Amino acid sequence: MIPNLTLAIVAGVLIACGVYLITERSLSRILVGVAVMSNGINLLFLVAAGPAGMPAIIGMFPADQMSDPLPQAMVLTAIVITMAVSAFVITMAYRSFQLNGHDEVSDDVEDARIRALAERDDVSASFEEIRFSDTGDDVVSE
């Protein structure tokens, strides 16, 4: 099988652009990134299918002239899934916009709190220092 170089390059460029957009903060840019990347991957499946041929309908064309139908079935499934994903991400971006006035993926609040404690070299309120004294009584300071 001789792969189609143009298709492979286009697929690579689309996937690279998609990855770049996914690294953005804004959900609407991520959405565009996902769409671009999915299309690149669909092209990749076309590369995998080999040279173009006749429709794969039994009885209409001889088998050796048909194109490989299996990657097309996979691409079809992938397109449907991408559509559903896009719908979900748009909904989520809109809900985020409703709630916060923007659609940016934000940092973890709890994580930031613990990091701030660590930077202050402080302990959280749930910290207990337990000493084991010689007398056998455990001293618990809070």
Chain residues binding other proteins by CB under 8 A are 1, 3, 15, 18-19, 22, 27, 30, 34, 37-38, 41, 44-45, 47-48, 70-71, 74, 77-78, 81, 84-85, 88-89, 92, 95-96, 99-100, 105-106, 108, 110-111, 114, 118, 124-126, 128
State in angstroms the smallest separation of the CB of 135 from other proteins. 21
d(CA 37, CA 12): 9
State in angstroms the smallest separation of the CB of 95 from other proteins. 5
Q: Which is nearer to other proteins, 111 or 121 (CB)?
A: 111
Query: In the chain, what are the helix, strand and coil shares in percent, each to the nearest 5?
Result: 60, 10, 30
Q: Which is nearer to other proteins, 9 or 88 (CB)?
A: 88
Q: Which is nearer to other proteins, 65 or 100 (CB)?
A: 100
Q: Which is nearer to other proteins, 34 or 66 (CB)?
A: 34
Q: Buried (b) or exposed (e) across 64-94, using 16+ Cβ within 10 A?
A: eeebbeebbeebeebeeebeeeeeebeeebe
Q: What angle do CA 14, 21, 6 make, to 5 degrees?
A: 10
